[in-house]
């Protein structure tokens, strides 16, 4: 677990390495520094807690203030700060690679819109939600949210309710069945069955739970050393090149937060290989989150699949995974196993509720964590309605994805100087706790919906003509776009180009 007492040592060693390179940072224009806003304060805390050099904060420009979307929470600040942390860390990697420091610019509205998962395929607005996904009132007056976007999750919940599995079942059937259940009772039964359901809680209810206390004790971005290895030079790049050019990332993730992490690293120049199982389903959002990536298949239930993954792992810099807790460890690809196979690796893990506490083993998605942690009840209360209200985007997924990218790059900078293998841990519930800490926005729910004009780009993809939001971070001297087009799983071989 990362501890504050380690920070000065990291800054000292990093600065010493930079001094040996004899690089002078570019002149800092004082009108472009971070201002005293919730987003800039959050960014500074993130940056310094990870042991990154304070001087770099002079090279970031954050524009805009909440509200930018209709919410009583500072969702714009969360989006902007997490995007800026990832981009500034990429710029710092470029600095370590002798390309000089760059200025980083992030507009809050742009960052917030990037977190809305808005995209079109061949002119069609894509909505991956199943008709049964959503909130339901139970017989005791409480509320639950059912996640049914995958058929096996949908059918499992229907069987538990005594409804016929399959797409023919209607919402009215689910509403009637839930009148026989209490909200917490159904949540517990679903958890025991390995399903994904969450009951709505108030902040007071959540904060009184053992799991909430465990989440609050964990760092927002936990960085820990898990093995010994010599420093691995990142190689010099020419000023103006993408800061992560030539670095290799294995992306074993599927639903939003993890794929956003890999997509972000691709925007900064990394070779990102998305590795899917040939047997697991995906949602249509894969078309948008696969921008910039190679896309291969590996069946880790077979010896050939495991051998193939080990082969590409041998030259990877970063390994990202978002499978349910313990799943990859059971296949021989947990943090310690991967560090033994590839000394010097940065291993990044995403979970729903963190690595500690009685819920640490539970699966979860953004919308469920919003319900369980009190965000939806609080938003409904702010709106004056007697039901939970979802946040205007899946901010826990997207902010967590950007924070994963930030943590990966902070650990990579540490590895290049200090050596070692590193484990980065981020959870949706801890991101929810962080969002609460950014404060509430008076009158935020009355803010009009912003326009996407000026923020969209249209490109060819393996899924059709793709229109989606450009990446929100901009660098002063290098691009932050997706060079590779989005393609379906298995388009590329399981090998680095």
What's the pLDDT score for residue 7?
Answer: 31
Residue 121: CA atoms inside 13 Å, Cβ hemisphere, count?
Answer: 16
Residue 395 near residue 435, CB atoms below 8 Å: yes
What's the pLDDT score for residue 151?
Answer: 87
| SS3 category, 435 | helix
**What H or E segment, with its residue span, contains residue 421?**
strand 421-427
Instruction: Please list, in sequence order, all residues whose beta carbon lies within 8 angstroms of the beta carbon of residue 384, skipping any fewer than 6 positions away.
Output: none
What's the pLDDT score for residue 35?
Answer: 63
**pLDDT of 22 strictly over 60:** no
Vertex 167: Cα angle to 164 and 171 (nearest 5) = 75
**pLDDT of 3 strictly over 90:** no
Q: Which percentage of the chain shows pLDDT scores above 70?
A: 93
* Residue of 483, 482, 481, 478 lying closest to 95 (CA atoms): 478
Ramachandran class of 194: left when φ > 0, alpha when ψ lies in -120 to 50, beta otherwise: left
Domain extent listing, the chain: 4-125+213-355+393-475
Over residues 34-55, the mean pLDDT reads: 92
- 62: buried, middle or exposed (CB in 10 Å: 19+, 13-18, 0-12)? buried
Lowest-pLDDT range of 15-19, 229-233, 330-334, 455-459: 15-19
**pLDDT of 318 strictly over 90:** yes
Name the CATH architecture for the domain at 4-125+213-355+393-475.
Answer: 3-Layer(aba) Sandwich (3.40)
Over residues 142-151, the mean pLDDT reads: 92
| SS3 category, 318 | strand
Instruction: Count the Cβ atoms, other than its own, within 10 Å of residue 140.
Output: 14
Q: What is the pLDDT of residues 97-120, one digit of tens each?
A: 999 999 999 999 999 999 999 999
What's the pLDDT score for residue 21?
Answer: 32
Q: What is the pLDDT of residues 56-82, one digit of tens each?
A: 999 999 999 999 999 999 999 999 999
What's the pLDDT score for residue 385?
Answer: 97
Over residues 130-151, the mean pLDDT reads: 93
* Residue of 33, 36, 37 lying closest to 54 (CA atoms): 33
Residue 53 near residue 98, CB atoms below 8 Å: no
* Whole-number average pLDDT of the chain: 92
Over residues 439-452, the mean pLDDT reads: 97
Over residues 462-468, the mean pLDDT reads: 97
């Amino acid at each position: 677990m990362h501890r504050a007492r380690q920070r000065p040592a990291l800054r000292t060693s990093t600065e010493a390495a930079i001094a040996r390179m004899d690089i002078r940072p570019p002149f800092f224009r004082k009108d472009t520094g971070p201002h005293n806003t919730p987003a800039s304060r959050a960014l500074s805390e993130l940056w310094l807690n990870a042991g990154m050099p304070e001087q770099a904060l002079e090279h970031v420009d954050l524009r805009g203030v909440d509200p930018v979307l209709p919410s009583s929470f500072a969702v714009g600040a969360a989006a902007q700060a997490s995007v800026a942390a990832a981009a500034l860390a990429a710029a710092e990697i470029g600095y370590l690679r002798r390309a000089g420091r760059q200025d980083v610019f992030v507009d809050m509205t742009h960052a917030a819109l990037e977190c809305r998962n808005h995209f079109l395929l061949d002119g069609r607005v894509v909505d991956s939600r199943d008709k049964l996904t959503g909130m339901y009132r139970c017989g005791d007056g409480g509320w639950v949210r059912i996640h049914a976007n995958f058929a096996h999750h949908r059918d499992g919940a229907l069987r538990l309710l005594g409804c016929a599995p399959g797409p023919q079942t209607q919402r009215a059937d689910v509403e009637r069945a839930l009148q026989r259940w209490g909200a917490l009772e159904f949540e517990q039964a679903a958890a025991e069955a390995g399903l994904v359901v969450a009951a709505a809680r108030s902040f007071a209810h959540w904060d009184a739970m053992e799991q909430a206390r465990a989440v609050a004790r964990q760092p927002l971005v936990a960085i820990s050393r898990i093995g010994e290895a010599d420093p691995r030079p990142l190689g010099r790049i020419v000023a103006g090149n993408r800061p992560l050019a030539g670095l290799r990332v294995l992306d074993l993730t599927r639903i939003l937060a993890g794929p956003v992490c890999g997509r972000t690293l691709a925007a900064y120049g990394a070779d990102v290989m998305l590795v899917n199982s040939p047997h697991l389903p995906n949602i249509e959002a894969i078309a948008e989150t696969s921008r910039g990536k190679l896309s291969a298949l590996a069946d880790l239930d077979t010896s050939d699949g495991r051998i193939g993954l080990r082969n590409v792992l041998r030259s990877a810099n970063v390994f990202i995974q978002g499978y349910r807790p313990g799943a990859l460890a059971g296949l021989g690809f947990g943090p310690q196993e991967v560090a033994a196979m590839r000394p010097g690796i940065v291993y990044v893990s995403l979970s729903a509720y963190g690595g500690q506490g009685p819920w640490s083993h539970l699966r979860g998605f953004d919308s469920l964590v919003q319900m369980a942690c009190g965000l939806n009840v609080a938003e409904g209360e702010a709106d004056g309605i007697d039901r939970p209200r979802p946040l205007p985007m899946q901010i826990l997924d997207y902010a967590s994805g950007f924070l994963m990218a930030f943590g990966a790059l902070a650990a990579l900078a540490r590895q290049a100087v200090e050596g070692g293998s590193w484990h980065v841990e981020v959870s949706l519930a801890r991101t929810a706790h962080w969002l609460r800490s950014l404060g509430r926005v008076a009158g935020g729910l009355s803010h009009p919906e912003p326009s996407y004009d000026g923020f969209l780009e249209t490109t060819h993809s393996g899924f059709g003509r793709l229109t989606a939001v450009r990446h929100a971070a901009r660098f002063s001297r290098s691009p932050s776009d997706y060079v590779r087009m989005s393609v379906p799983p298995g388009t590329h071989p399981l090998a680095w180009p």
